[in-house]
Amino acid sequence: MLTELSGWTVAAVVALGVLSVAAGIAVFVVDSMARATFALLASFLAVAGILLAFDLVYLAVVTALMMTIEMAIMAVFMIMFMMNPAGLMPMTMVHNARGSAAVGASAFVVLVVGIWTVDWPIGRTERPEDSTRQLGEAIMGSHMLVMLVIGLGLFATILAGTVLATARGRYDRFGADLAAKRPDDPIPGGLPR
């Protein structure tokens, strides 16, 4: 497929591939959950860029949107539930470092050997006129109701997570000027101002 692309496109695919791998490695190198989250997002966005270079616009947009929303939800839940504020304090991101490195290196070697030694089939069928429409119908045709329910569930999760992550006091709804008018009132924890 790379032989059918222009020189600039091949260069962009290679650069985005290197960026994707580097950001993927950074997920395990950085020392906080927040940085790992954004490194993972950068890796997925680079993959979306590669899909865009291959003229797979639908898959590129879906990948970019899904990963951006997923990482945003992850960041909100980190802020809500972690004792480590916003996941920014240094922490170890890898457990059993030697074992995980051995498994990762072995999987990488097996995959690379498979990529270069397997006799991959060559597709002999012609591409449809509108492959995006065909893919959309294949994905959404019999699963439209499921996809709509999942979409609403994800949207409700984002809203609920955002609402739970924001701390609201007694006067937050009415503004800071109202709070300034009542300096003797206790704050929501019962402590005097």
pLDDT mean by block of 10 residues, the chain; 193 residues: 71 92 89 84 94 86 88 77 66 76 93 91 77 76 78 85 68 52 53 48
User: Which token pair is 2?
Assistant: 């790379």
Cα–Cα distance for residue pair 31/91, rounded to 1 Å: 5
pLDDT for position 170: 53
CA distances from residue 125 to 4, 59, 128, 172, 189 in whole angstroms, order as listed: 17, 21, 9, 62, 69
| Cβ-based neighbours of 44, under 8 Å, separated by 6 or more | 20, 63, 64, 67, 71
DSSP 8-state symbol, 99: H
pLDDT for position 93: 61
Alpha helices in the chain (DSSP H): 7-29, 33-53, 57-81, 97-117, 131-140, 144-165, 176-181
pLDDT for position 19: 95
Helices 144-165 and 131-140 meet at what angle, rounded to 10?
80
User: Which token pair is 140?
Assistant: 């959404």
| Cβ-based neighbours of 184, under 8 Å, separated by 6 or more | 192, 193
